[in-house]
Amino acid sequence: MKITIKFKIIILTISFLAFTSCTLDGGESLNGASTSSISDDLSKGELPQAISGILSDMRFRLNTQVDVQSILGREYYYFTSSDPRFEGDVVTGNMDNQTFYTTQAWGSRYSAVKEINLALEGLTNTTSDFSAQEIAATRGVLNTLKAHQLLMVSNNQYTNGMRIDVSDPDNLGPFVSYDEALTAIASLLSEAATDLASANSLDLPTIFPLSSGYDDLRKIDPVTGEPLPITSADFLEFNKALTARVEAYRGNYSAVLAALGGSFMDMVGNLNKGVYHTFSLTGADLANPLFIALNQEANVRVAHSSFLIDAESGDLRTNKVVLRDTPREASGLVGTHDVWIYQSLVDNVPIIRNEELILLFAEANMVTNPTDAVNALNVIRNAAGLPDYAGALTPSALEDEMLKQRRYSLFGESHRWVDMRRFGRLSELPNDRPGDMVPSTIPIPFDENQ
Amino acid sequence: MATSVKRSNAANAVSTVSADELAGRTPPQTLDGALAGKFTGALVSSNSGSPGGGMSVKLRGITSINGNSQPLYIIDGVYIDNSSTSGAGLNAVSAAAGGGNASSQDNATNRIADINPEDIESISILKGASASAIYGSRSRGAAGVIIITTKRGKQGKTVVNFSQSNGWNEAINLQGQRNWTAALAESAFGEGAEFSAAEAAGKLFDYEKVLFGEKGFISNTNISMSGGNEKTTFFAGFTRNQEDGIVKRTGYDKSSIRLNLDHKFTDNIKLSLTTNYINSSADRGFFNNDNSGTTLGVALATGVRPWDDLFPDANGNYPDAPHGASNPLQTRDLMTNNERTVRFITGGTLNINLLRTDNQSLKFVARAGVDHYTFTAKVIFPKELQFMRPDQGGVNGLSAVTTTTNTNSNYSAFLVHNYTTNNDVSFTTQAGVTNEQFSRNIVSVIASDLIASETNVDQAANIKASQTRLEQEDFGFFVQEELNFQDKLIATIGVRGDKSTNNGDINELFYYPKGSLAVNLSNFAFWGSSDAVNRFKVRGAYGEAGTFAAFGSLFTIFGSTLNDNNVGIIVPIIRGNPNISPERQKEFEIGFDAGFLNDRISIEFTYYKKKVEDLLLEATIEPSTGFAREWVNAGELENRGFEIGVNIKAFESEDFSWNSNISWWTNTSEMTRLDVPTFNLGGFGNSLGQFQIEEGKSVTQIVGTTGPDTPVSVLGDAEPDFQMSFVNDLSYKDFTLSFLWHWKKGGDNINLTKLLSDFGGTSADFDDFDFDPNINNGTFRINNGLFAGNARPFVEDASYLRLREIGLFYTIPTETLNNWFDGTVSNVKLGFSGHNLINIFDYNSYDPEVSNFGGNGLSTGVEVTPFPSSKRYMFQLSVQF
């Protein structure tokens, strides 16, 4: 019975192991850094990653946001064979509060806001040896970006309202009206401006990198002719550009002019000078989601027919669309021209550019100073190959002209719908089918429980 | 776990499936597929017709909304992994879910498909906590346990079995085409001239037939040997299954080798070992939802007209699809979506009788098991493909490899004490501890802009890597006492304690009690010896079981991103919850088993009610928080149902016998409490229909809007009204005929396939008038359906009646065999069999059994251009030496 004894030893061993090994350890997350690692104490090493994450996330679902606004502004149609709702719900204005065209842009912008809030919290709690200037510059940059993201939400939501205070997920702030939202965004920008100004032209790359989409803001070294590192003062010019846009939306034209003065507006400079989202095909980077090759069939962005019909002859900006080999039809809508703003998967997408600033300058002056307004409009017209403006100088004539120039200069950049709404002209936008309609707002997502 | 109760004493309705029932009628494609219709209380549904499987098995309704709702499989004591992993890269091309990561829409297989049905001796199905409580938490005891016993050797003559079956599969329900004429082509697309030209050239094609019209060749070879002496017995089996799909370049090829050994050291010490090696490869094609017009299904539905010429020229150059982003023939012929699994499962059980006297015994049982596999998903889209070419906006070729290494191991030890009194009352006491460990590492690399025709992921300009790890350990113990009073009263009481590293407090024990009572009335003296009712047992059981939170649900962790070459961190979609706790199922069942006319007729009846508390919900959170969903314990659901089984031995004589089984079962669910606002999942928004979790409503309700500015209303329910199966086994002399009818009555799907082909103008029923006498179906679904925000046309009854299995066999009489082979061959059987040969349904697509979102959770039954289902015809020969 020797073997029985051996087995008894085995049993005792197993039993002993079983009852002693009953304390578990482990339970780690394994697959990423906790969000509290940023908000509890933002370190110098983490700051660049937090900023890059924000710049990256600002691009998520950018296509949904731009496509929906461009369809609503009747700039172009987006036909996709596998999701017909771009030619359905969005064009008929019968938009559901749970479908991607409503929820994605909202969710993505607030994700970026969350990242900014975590970084701001971390900046308050940091134990790293950031200087006061570094803190101020970082805060200024973060709040400027936050203001931009909130502005993107308010553009969609308009009078439906939105939340501004979202820092505590368990205790969200209230929905505020459109006016209150714009006021909050404007004051965020002004706080940020104060911070950026107090940072004393700090070289931002010493604390975090910005993407090459911000390179246009860099000054040129007068001696070497090389671009200098981007500074907090350079970034302030972006902040002021956004401020000008927000103030125009609020109808504060004197504030627009003041802000433009501090911005990178350049009447004689490149109209494309500005701040951009960048894209690449490298690793986890994103490809430009607004690029589609010419003459596709399944997925196409085709210009609304009125874009060419309404254009002045000789307007070079009509090269933003290209005649298709064959028209693309979808459910009674027809496109003869492909939208051709972005020509590769790595093209940048503008956040704000000089061309818009000049147009904002014209808009702010059209009542009080028509001559300045016309001069600015002529800069735009001439650049587009058109002769000087020869129409009346009445505010209403200038408004028509300004809106027209904005339509062609900022085609496909999410402005037309917002502009027509600002001036109470949504009813002028064309509807090609009997049931089509342009709504003034996008629904609040169902999950906000409003 | 270490004891078994004989069926006549069981207090639960435990269903069993024998080897013959599982694979004897017709060779099944996968193990889970072979379960459909074979026992009560289950909803077994396949996700598509793609070779290699992909199934959902739900026992007694939906038991978890975001936790696992699939049962646990235990084979010879080894916990088997049944997860679904899809190949990265598919979604990068299809863009079905955005973001480029693997998504649940990639038509993945689940890993139980690896197990070879031919090796299985029997299956017991514990459908809920009242039976499975003892298996504890992670165990998804909550979702039920499927206990599989494989074949083992018997002492005596060595027996060799050889069987070969060959056959083919073909699509069960191709949709056909519109009745194209030049006039229709002109009115639909202005392409009357193109139609006429193609017609004149004899170049009008039915591309559905071209793509899905193949007959796939099937070959199954099985060899097994078993035997042994009084100390050692063995079973060895080898199986090779090969089958081609109904789409060219798809198919499944699996080899499985098993060796089971039993050795008795002494009369009191026995060791049982099982080992199983599996090597499988599945070519799955490219199907389901997409947002890029590239999957075969979407391309066919939306971008292909019969007069388009999509065939390659003599040099193999494919023309671009004139109306779509992809040429589906080119995609079919050039792309690869291969899943390869190499799996090793091994386990051992040691039984030691420590004490054996006349009236008591003490037994020690120790078990260990390991299930390890490496799963490699390879996805290749060569640069020649229309949608890969840079001039078409493509990325110049894409190659992706996803490698999953998964190891589950489980250990347990029990002591079982049995004591019988002089008046035949026995007490069985067992106590034990269990430990389970789970480890998974998924690494995927997606490469694009490939060098020449190379596919290694380093041969590319752009490379994106991602990794997901899982490490989990559970520990549990249990004690149970069973009392058997002369086989008249059988009572059990027990408790289990469990903890897991997935819980908020990893060392907190959660306790789950159970208790049951079976009363064999017919064994009491007062019953007498009635022939009319010869057997009658009433039974009742109660049990609780938990489902642990999914790994990682405690944490809110940053994802990584890249922006202009700078690495960045972004907030996740799901907010973790550090206080998450397991959900708890409480199941009560009651029923009776009766035998009439000496068991000529027997009846089993069961009613159950199972409640799941502290539901683990990935509930939506206000998206302005920056998250989309968060883990919470916030609700309660209930499933109630009946299960009835009737067996009739209609005829039994030497030459002829007829045995019939009729089963009927139904389940109803309700969200009895929801602590978070009503939320939706599984679907594509209200205008197309989606699932909605709402207090007081059925868990599986399907809702949607029905017109512009209409409120959301209930449009259907995925839960069937009832299911029924009808099995008949007839034998006449040396012939046997056996067939299984399976009827699922009710249960709705969300069917979006037709809508997509409506947009392509190619739906077979486009010109019919089923919805409105004046508006044809295609126009109705578009204008009065989608554009009007009316989801009603997309929610469809998914009832079916199908001849699941049929087998007709002839066994050559032994005398003849002896004459022919002089005794070396002891049995020869040959015959014909089939799977899904008759399918009756109104559902407007290939098959009402379908799921765009895979097998888990609620979202089964959403259809977007799937791989069409097939039926199988098989011829078989088996020989025993």
* pLDDT confidence tier of residue A6, bands split at 50, 70 and 90: low
Domains and CATH numbers, chain B: 7-174+213-222+233-286+335-747+798-880 (2.40.170.20)
Which is it for strands B566-570 and B425-450: parallel, antiparallel or unpaired?
A: unpaired
Domain count, chain A: 1
In a domain, A1, yes or no: no
A438 in contact with B, Cβ within 8 Å: no
pLDDT tens per residue, range A308-334: 999 999 999 999 999 999 999 988 899
**What residues contact residue B384 under an 8 Å CB cut-off, 6+ apart?**
B318, B330, B334
DSSP state of B712: P
B532 in contact with A, Cβ within 8 Å: no
Centre a 10 Å sphere on the Cβ of residue A168 and count the other Cβ atoms it contains: 10
A383 in contact with B, Cβ within 8 Å: no
Nearest CB among A7, A10, A166 relative to B625 is that of A166
B356 in contact with A, Cβ within 8 Å: no
User: How many angstroms separate the CA atoms of A413 and A155, rounded?
Assistant: 13
Partners of A38 on chain B (C-beta within 8 Å) are 558, 569
Contact at 8 Å (CB) between B346 and B370? Answer: yes
**Overall residue count recorded for chain A in this entry:** 450
Q: Which of B241, B260, B215 is nearest to B871 (CA)?
A: B215
Touching B: A residues 236-265, CB under 8 Å: none
Query: Which residue out of B625, B692, B693 would a mutagenesis test of the A interface target, given it has the greatest number of A Cβ atoms within 10 Å?
Result: B625
User: How many angstroms separate the CA atoms of B785 and B461, rounded?
Assistant: 44
Global model pTM greater than 0.95: no
A222 in contact with B, Cβ within 8 Å: no
Contact at 8 Å (CB) between B99 and B90? Answer: no
User: How many angstroms separate the CA atoms of A209 and B681, rounded?
Assistant: 39
In angstroms, how far is CA B636 from the centroid of its own chain?
25
Average of per-residue pLDDT values in chain A: 93
Contact at 8 Å (CB) between B462 and B408? Answer: no
Touching A: B residues 674-693, CB under 8 Å: 677, 679-680, 684-687, 690
Look at residue A1 and tell me whether its pLDDT is greater than 60.
no
User: HSE (CB half, 13 Å, CA atoms) of B561?
Assistant: 30
Contact at 8 Å (CB) between B28 and B46? Answer: no
What pLDDT, on the 0 to 100 scale, is given for residue B99? 46
A450 in contact with B, Cβ within 8 Å: no
Partners of A29 on chain B (C-beta within 8 Å) are 552, 554-555, 557
B435 in contact with A, Cβ within 8 Å: yes
B711 in contact with A, Cβ within 8 Å: no
B289 in contact with A, Cβ within 8 Å: yes
Contact at 8 Å (CB) between B15 and B40? Answer: yes
What pLDDT, on the 0 to 100 scale, is given for residue B101? 47
In a domain, A441, yes or no: no
The tokens describing A206, both together, are 């010493």
Write out the E strands in B675-700: 679-683, 690-693
Q: Please state, in angstroms and as integers, the Cα–Cα distance from residue A245 to each residue in A148, A160, A215, A260, B452, following that order.
A: 10, 20, 21, 9, 49
Partners of A103 on chain B (C-beta within 8 Å) are 623
User: How many angstroms separate the CA atoms of B596 and A110, rounded?
Assistant: 68
Closest-CA residue in chain A for B101? A284
A55 in contact with B, Cβ within 8 Å: yes
Touching A: B residues 394-413, CB under 8 Å: 394-395, 411, 413
Expressed as residue numbers, the domain containing A391 is: 38-211+218-434
In a domain, A370, yes or no: yes
In a domain, A77, yes or no: yes
Partners of B324 on chain A (C-beta within 8 Å) are 81, 297-298
In a domain, A8, yes or no: no
Q: Look at the block and give the residue holding tokens 């209200």.
A: B686
Partners of A27 on chain B (C-beta within 8 Å) are 501-503, 506, 554
**What residues contact residue B137 under an 8 Å CB cut-off, 6+ apart?**
B474, B476, B498, B500, B510, B512, B545, B546, B547, B548, B582
Amino acid at A168: D
Query: Cα distance from B340 to chain A (closest Cα, Å)?
Result: 25
In this predicted complex, what is the ipTM? 0.91
DSSP state of B872: E
User: How many angstroms separate the CA atoms of A242 and A237, rounded?
Assistant: 9
Q: Which of B838, B769, B862, B720 is nearest to B173 (CA)?
A: B838
Tell me the backbone φ, ψ of residue B703, rounded to 5 degrees. Answer: -125, 170
Burial class (CB in 10 A: 0-12, 13-18, 19+), A357: buried
User: How many angstroms separate the CA atoms of B620 and B629, rounded?
Assistant: 4
What pLDDT, on the 0 to 100 scale, is given for residue A383? 97
Look at residue A115 and tell me whether its pLDDT is greater than 80.
yes
**B514 - beta bridge partners?**
B494, B543
Q: What is the mean pLDDT of each run of 10 residues along chain B (881 residues)?
A: 73 87 88 89 88 87 81 91 82 72 73 91 88 66 84 93 95 93 93 95 95 95 94 96 95 96 94 96 90 90 92 94 92 95 96 90 94 95 94 92 94 92 91 92 94 91 91 90 93 92 89 93 86 91 90 91 93 92 92 93 95 91 94 94 95 92 96 92 85 94 90 94 95 94 95 91 93 94 88 95 95 89 88 95 93 78 92 94 88
What pLDDT, on the 0 to 100 scale, is given for residue A23? 80
Flag if A53 and B690 touch (Cβ within 8 Å): no
A85 in contact with B, Cβ within 8 Å: yes
Amino acid at A18: A
Touching A: B residues 741-760, CB under 8 Å: 755-756, 759-760
In a domain, A410, yes or no: yes
The tokens describing B597, both together, are 């006319």
How many Cβ pairs within 8 Å bridge chains A and B? Answer: 311
Contact at 8 Å (CB) between B505 and B494? Answer: no
Query: Cα distance from A90 to chain B (closest Cα, Å)?
Result: 9
DSSP state of A295: T
Flag if A26 and B325 touch (Cβ within 8 Å): no
Which is it for strands B510-520 and B489-500: parallel, antiparallel or unpaired?
A: antiparallel
User: How many angstroms separate the CA atoms of A264 and A262, rounded?
Assistant: 7
User: How many angstroms separate the CA atoms of B558 and A411, rounded?
Assistant: 35
Contact at 8 Å (CB) between A243 and A357? Answer: no
| Angle at which helices A132-157 and A100-125 cross, to 10° | 160
In a domain, A12, yes or no: no
Write out the E strands in A274-362: 274-277, 299-303, 321-330, 333-339, 349-353
Contact at 8 Å (CB) between B725 and B662? Answer: yes
In a domain, A323, yes or no: yes
A330 in contact with B, Cβ within 8 Å: yes
Q: Look at the block and give the residue holding tokens 């350990």.
A: B473
Calculate Rg over the CA atoms of chain A: 26
Look at residue A416 and tell me whether its pLDDT is greater than 90.
yes
A412: CATH: 1.25.40.390
User: How many angstroms separate the CA atoms of B305 and B311, rounded?
Assistant: 13
Amino acid at A21: S
What pLDDT, on the 0 to 100 scale, is given for residue B781? 93
* pLDDT confidence tier of residue A13, bands split at 50, 70 and 90: low
Nearest CB among A28, A98, A284 relative to B680 is that of A98
Nearest CB among B293, B558, B686 relative to A81 is that of B293
Contact at 8 Å (CB) between B759 and B786? Answer: no
Q: Look at the block and give the residue holding tokens 């080898």.
A: B238
What pLDDT, on the 0 to 100 scale, is given for residue A82? 67
Flag if A96 and B554 touch (Cβ within 8 Å): no
What is the sign of the dihedral through the CA atoms of B23, B27, B29 and B34? negative
Helices and strands of chain A, counted as H and E runs: 15, 8
The tokens describing A234, both together, are 């350079």
